[in-house]
Structure 1
Amino acid sequence: MINIGKINTLRVVAEYPFGYALAPLLDGETNDDGVYEAIEDADQQTVTLAIDEVETPLTEGQELSVFVTTDQRGELYATFKKPLIQVGETKVLKAVSATNFGAFFDWGLETDLLIPNDYQAQPVNAGMYYVVHAFFDEKTQRVLGATKLHYFLKENSAYLNEGDTVDCLVYAKTDLGFKVVINEKSLGLIFHSDAFKPLKVGHATEGVIKNIREDGKVDVALQRVDKGGRDALQQAILEDLEAHGGISTLTDKSAPEAIYTHFNVSKAAYKKAIGALYKQKKITLSPDAIRLNKDNA
């Protein structure tokens, strides 16, 4: 079977003046002597690899790794070029043009990826970057794209648990916060209160599952907010002090950007951590510095 919109491993089955016919690898079975025998399929599907794609002649039976997609007429073709996105993936792509029926995106191939108007979350502007999901449309028999991600990705997922570390891709900004694609599988939300660093559409960031609501929708934080996360930050602060002679000028008065750059956490989380260390008498605080107590040095 040929997987349209994905990279396939295919074999050469015929040569033509204009290119090569490629087909899926043969199924096989083992005979009584334990020898593998290929089983021919008379109805096998084939796809054409253009002759200008090939630098050196190919031989019948040779296996190739190629991307299979459709041209503007809906006909299958294979290419050695690797696209920026494959069917089932969600990536950031650049819009190159917009028409009255859809928008076209650069996906690394000669023919641009079409996103019909019905699959656009908002009107597309040429030159802008958008988060796009690629899919194979059975009706048109073409590989298409969509920025209406909820058509393809669920707003809840059984595989996620609170506290899981996940990869996030920001795809929209709302009054509540930033909508994100989680692990390219599902959708979630980072509330503005949890967005302690600048976020914008198209940005990738690591996150932590903060809460899974009763309706299954997922809230994501940019840092661990449980006891494990608090303990890890306190330990990181102590280790940083030890590495710098027991003193740090990064105080609770420091800029949020400076704290994030150094510890990858919000200013609020940092203040809570040094407050806890102070109560434990592990550090001494002054207006311009934090010092490690001698008993902990």
Structure 2
Amino acid sequence: MIALGKYNTLIIDRDTRVGLFLADPEGEEILLPVKYRPETFEIGDALEVFCYLDHEERPVATTLTPGITRDSFAALRVAEVNDYGAFLEWGLEKHLLVPFREQATPLRKGQTCVVYCYLDPKSSRLVASTRLDRFLDNRDVRLEPLQEVAILVYRETNLGYEVVVNNRHKGLVYRDQVFRDLQIGDSLMGYVQKIREDQKLDISLEPMGHRKLEPAAARIYEELKRAGGKLPFHDGSSPEDIQARFKMSKKLFKKGIGILYRERRIELGPDGISLRKTH
């Protein structure tokens, strides 16, 4: 059976003026419009395509890459809002609908939001929702403390940042453990800090094998990692340049690199600071 909202590996069954008809092992067919037809092919070749409903609600296949697939979470931009709801850009010709009933708070044009994509059982259409809590499941958490996980930032609260963990669970990064700029929609790696008795997950942005750094040192360390491991800053750098890059005074900067150097996390050179290769 051809699965809408997912990638399908299908066989080229026949070539027509409107495109290729692809079939699954049960003989169900779907059209790959002519504009997506590969330059070279033979009847019987296998193609991996994404399947969804077009503007006329007809099942079609595409070789375009969507920004989200069914039963998953992703950050997408709102293209427009009209009487039906909000429509998201997701890399395909037809935008993805977030009905008003599926909006935790009203969406606006140009906003980036994290959504869950699912197949509406009533209409058989792909829709998205920002009411994420009902799609996150912490009843059966099969993770271990210190384990590296994929996280997606979806909401900021007084405590910190709520994140989707491994496309399934809900986690929290506490505000006092964030030493970098985080934005809604950021996708990055984190680490399981603690699994609570109620199965709630505390997530850290740093490997737990590292001792928690003093804030100034942590910010410098994060900036180094984001810059690929090396930055042209040292004792002779101007206070203005340091403030612009690290959002701290030169005094705090010198304190931070002193801590990192003593912990053997960085190396100091005449042209700047760099991460030690062992870290």
Q: TM-score, normalised by structure 2?
A: 0.74
Instruction: Report the Cα offset of residue 256 of structure 1.
Output: 5.3
Instruction: Report the Cα offset of residue 141 of structure 1.
Output: 0.8
Deviates more, 1:173-182 or 1:50-59: 50-59
Confirm whether residue 72 of structure 1 aligns to residue 68 of structure 2: no
- In 2, are the aligned partners of 1:156 and 1:218 still within 8 Å (CA)? no
Which of residues 119, 133, 141 is equivalent to 1:158?
A: 141
1:172 aligned partner: 155
Confirm whether residue 52 of structure 1 aligns to residue 28 of structure 2: no
- In 2, are the aligned partners of 1:187 and 1:218 still within 8 Å (CA)? yes
2:17 aligned partner: 17
Which of these two proteins has the greater Rg computed from alpha carbons? 1
Which of residues 112, 119, 123 is equivalent to 2:102?
A: 119
- In 2, are the aligned partners of 1:20 and 1:50 still within 8 Å (CA)? yes
Deviates more, 1:46-55 or 1:116-125: 46-55
Which of residues 200, 204, 226 is equivalent to 2:187?
A: 204
Instruction: List aligned pairs for 1:211-230, cutoff 5 A.
Output: 211-225=194-208, 228-230=209-211
Instruction: Report the Cα offset of residue 202 of structure 1.
Output: 1.3
CA gap of 1:206–1:51, structure 2 versus 1, over 3 A, is closer
- In 2, are the aligned partners of 1:165 and 1:208 still within 8 Å (CA)? yes
Root-mean-square deviation (CA, aligned residues, Å) is 3.0
What is the CA–CA distance in structure 2 between the aligned matches of 1:205 and 1:258, rounded to whole Å?
18
Instruction: Report the Cα offset of residue 182 of structure 1.
Output: 1.0
Superimposed CA distance per residue, residues 64-85 of structure 1 (whole angstroms, 9 cap, x where no aligned partner) = 2211111233320011111121
- In 2, are the aligned partners of 1:67 and 1:80 still within 8 Å (CA)? yes
Instruction: Report the Cα offset of residue 274 of structure 1.
Output: 5.7
Counterpart residue type for residue 78 of structure 2: A
Residue aligned with 1:150, SS: helix
Q: Where does the alignment leave 5 or more consecutive residues of structure 1 unmatched? A: 27-40, 235-251, 283-297
Q: TM-score, normalised by structure 1?
A: 0.70
Instruction: Report the Cα offset of residue 254 of structure 1.
Output: 5.5
What is the CA–CA distance in structure 1 between the aligned matches of 2:77 and 2:225, rounded to whole Å?
33
Superimposed CA distance per residue, residues 21-74 of structure 1 (whole angstroms, 9 cap, x where no aligned partner) = 2111x3xxxxxxxxxxxxxx4xx3111112232254754322222111112333
Superimposed CA distance per residue, residues 155-207 of structure 1 (whole angstroms, 9 cap, x where no aligned partner) = 45421122212221110001111110112221111111222222221122322
Counterpart residue type for residue 11 of structure 1: I
What is the CA–CA distance in structure 1 between the aligned matches of 2:76 and 2:184, rounded to whole Å?
11
Q: How many residues align?
A: 235
Confirm whether residue 7 of structure 1 aligns to residue 7 of structure 2: yes
2:220 aligned partner: 258
Residue aligned with 1:257, SS: helix
Confirm whether residue 128 of structure 1 aligns to residue 116 of structure 2: no
Residue aligned with 2:210, SS: helix
Percent of pairs identical after alignment? 31
Which of residues 55, 63, 86 is equivalent to 1:103?
A: 86
2:45 aligned partner: 62
